[in-house]
Amino acid sequence: MTKSFDTILHGGVVVNHDGVAPRDLGLRGGRIAGIGDLSQADAGERIDCAGLHILPGVIDTQVHFREPGATHKEDLESGSRGAVLGGVTGVFEMPNTKPPTLHVSDVADKVARATRRMHCDFAFYAGGAAETVDDIPELERQPGCAGIKVFMGSSTGSLLVSDDAGLAAILSKTRRRAAFHAEDEARLKEREPLRVKGDAASHPVWRDELTALKATERLIAIAREKRALVHVLHVTTTEEIELLAQDKDVASVEVTPHHLSITSDDYARLGTLLQMNPPVRDARHREGLWRGVDEGIVDILGSDHAPHTLEEKAKPYPESPSGMTGVQTFVPLMLDHVNAGRLSLLRLVDLTSAGPARLFGIAGKGRIAVGFDADLTIVDLKRKMTIKNDWIASRCGWTPYDGREILGWPVGTFVRGAKVMWDGELATPSTGEAMRFHAAL
């Protein structure tokens, strides 16, 4: 009996948990329904993928899409449009919106705003705060909730839990892995005089290595005491990597493409466009992060896409806000690193697909297997492109990588079987739905 599929991807090289090999993929009803030689099968559409590599859909577990409250610089539609144009099939969106995502009703509101309006699938973090500690068990079970996110150091927005008692109260309630922005607020306040007006290069002097390390040490100690699982976002220092290597039983590790790709030398060229929390540091720390990737200490990558308008970024430091775009350039930058020999395609898949699914219990995503969602990132490793501001879909319309030449480029994005992007163009209207989680089913 001849097999029949909605779509067959023919002639591509599939990169997955079991290796790298030429295989056809058959998609049916939004899921992967066949893997192997499908040359004799029927399909509503057959897509030639010769010369292309097919990866499990890339999941970016740290984006700020600014809705509600700051939609002049991003919203759920524009942010997710950038995601799929860059090969990203799913995102976790952060809670520091206006108002912040604190209550069950806030999560439900974001899910309603996003469903069939976002171009990729999604989940939303709920913010950890003193006033909602008792609500955490219910928040963690909400449809479309990625878990709890806590800011230990002040950043964009009003969410902040800086004291050990507050952190312990939150971690005594969490059952899923909670995510943390780990910078020590007391040290940040103490070092504020080190900021130099008009000089963004003083940003990593103010938010120094010890500011990050001290917070991470405190977090690990409390997590052990409360027998909780924590996820340390955007790790930036060699010392944190060395510390976290000893604590993988309680703590998982994220690094970002910008901390792997740029150094503090670039403040002279980019100024406040490079300003992020925690900051881009010197080459010693960048190499320390790469060692963390090489040695398996780093679990996943996240873009920390955090857009602000050029007008806002043009304010003199330190009045300028911290943040840059990143979701659309996430895959191109990492493919360029693959071509440069910094990591393998299999390691990239583990960091961007299998890793997020494993850490956060995402159901039906993270690998290419029959029965899983047909989320696919299709890339041309030989395509050379130059990143330009006018390619960026974000409402803020800029990237710190403007003019950077890249080898390796996303050419197709499939979300639950729908061809959402092909060769740089949106191909299907927004189909985004909330991700499902094993712990919340």
Q: Two tokens at 63?
A: 């984006």
pLDDT band at 112 (very low <50, low <70, confident <90, very high): very high
Structural domain for 355, as ranges = 57-360
> CATH no. for residue 229?
3.20.20.140
- Is 304 catalytic? The answer is yes
Q: Render pLDDT for 247-291 as a digit per residue (tens, 0 to 9).
A: 999 999 999 999 999 999 999 999 999 999 999 999 999 999 999
Q: In the prediction, which pLDDT does 153 show?
A: 86
User: How far is it, in rounded angstroms, from Cα 15 to Cα 435?
Assistant: 22
Mean pLDDT, residues 2-10: 94
Q: In the prediction, which pLDDT does 156 show?
A: 58
Does residue 301 fall inside a structural domain?
A: yes
Number of domains in the chain: 1
Q: In the prediction, which pLDDT does 154 show?
A: 76
pLDDT band at 441 (very low <50, low <70, confident <90, very high): low
Does residue 324 fall inside a structural domain?
A: yes
Q: What 3 state SS string does 243-302 have?
A: HHCCCCCCEEEEECHHHHHCCHHHHHHHHHHHCCCCCCCCHHHHHHHHHHHHCCCCCEEC
User: How far is it, in rounded angstroms, from Cα 428 to Cα 328?
Assistant: 18
Model confidence pTM above 0.85: yes
Q: In the prediction, which pLDDT does 397 show?
A: 98
Q: Which of 75, 208, 304, 350 is catalytic?
A: 304
Q: In the prediction, which pLDDT does 175 show?
A: 96
Does residue 393 fall inside a structural domain?
A: no
Does residue 371 fall inside a structural domain?
A: no
Mean pLDDT, residues 287-309: 98
Does residue 420 fall inside a structural domain?
A: no
Whether pLDDT at 47 is above 90: yes
Whether pLDDT at 97 is above 80: yes
What single-letter amino acid sits at 87? G
Whether pLDDT at 2 is above 90: no
Whether pLDDT at 225 is above 80: yes
Does residue 431 fall inside a structural domain?
A: no
Q: In the prediction, which pLDDT does 155 show?
A: 65
H-helix segments, 343-399: 345-349, 355-360
Q: What percent of the chain has pLDDT over 70?
A: 98
Does residue 405 fall inside a structural domain?
A: no
Does residue 353 fall inside a structural domain?
A: yes
Helix (H/G/I), strand (E/B), else coil: 51: coil
Q: Which of 77, 33, 43, 32 is nearest to 395 (CA)?
A: 77
Catalogue the E-assigned strands of 64-128.
Answer: 88-93, 121-127
Positive or negative CA dihedral for 328, 329, 330, 332? positive
